[in-house]
Amino acid sequence: NGIGYGLDGYCCEVGDKLKLQSDKPINYTSIAIKGLLFNFKPRNATVIVDGKKYEHHYVWLVPTMKGRFYGGGLMIAPNQDRLSDEVSVVVYQSKSRISSLMTFRYVPTGQHIKKKKMVKIYTGKEIENWTYWWNDKNETFMEGLYYDEYLAGAPYIPVTKGAFYGW
């Protein structure tokens, strides 16, 4: 249904570490909230959709979606039709951790898209090579799966070609 970057990658990293420590079920909602409040740092992102370039700052999430839901019931792209030949790129951005957290509660119902300054949605047929995060030294990272601030070694495969980033 979708591929997420940013806080999503952080949640996967923390969840994987917790799985190694215990057999208890992983609560990704709790990980996301703690990340929003304390540990995860928002980044800058450049997204290219159908040849148009969009620059964003203080980005928390950048999922590219073929369906409306991901993450166990989060309606991150409520207007996306999985039968369409287009995908939606959702950019969730804010300078404020508290504001990001307060708006995040609306994601399960899709009401977060009413926050136009915080949530941008681009639809298109082709998501081109996009520069994902910059670190504090403004060095550009290569495309791939990110856990925190390092590349997990996965090859870049265009989302719109029916594939995804993989191991």
Pick from 103, 122, 3, 151: nearest CA to 56: 122
| CA–CA gap between residue 78 and residue 163 (Å, rounded) | 22
Q: Which of 49-63, 75-89, 152-166 has the lowest mean pLDDT?
A: 152-166
| CA–CA gap between residue 77 and residue 143 (Å, rounded) | 22
Distances (CA, A) of 18 to 22, 26, 51, 60, 151: 6, 7, 40, 22, 20
Residue 59 · residue 43 · CB < 8 Å: yes
| CA–CA gap between residue 80 and residue 106 (Å, rounded) | 17
| Choice between 45 and 162, residue whose per-residue pLDDT is larger | 45
Question: For all residues of the chain together, what is the average pLDDT?
Answer: 78
Tell me, what's the pLDDT at 127?
83
- The three-class DSSP label of residue 26 is coil
Tell me, what's the pLDDT at 120?
97
User: What number is the average pLDDT over the span 74-102?
Assistant: 93
Pick from 129, 124, 130, 47: nearest CA to 86: 124
Tell me, what's the pLDDT at 119?
97
Report if pTM > 0.85. no
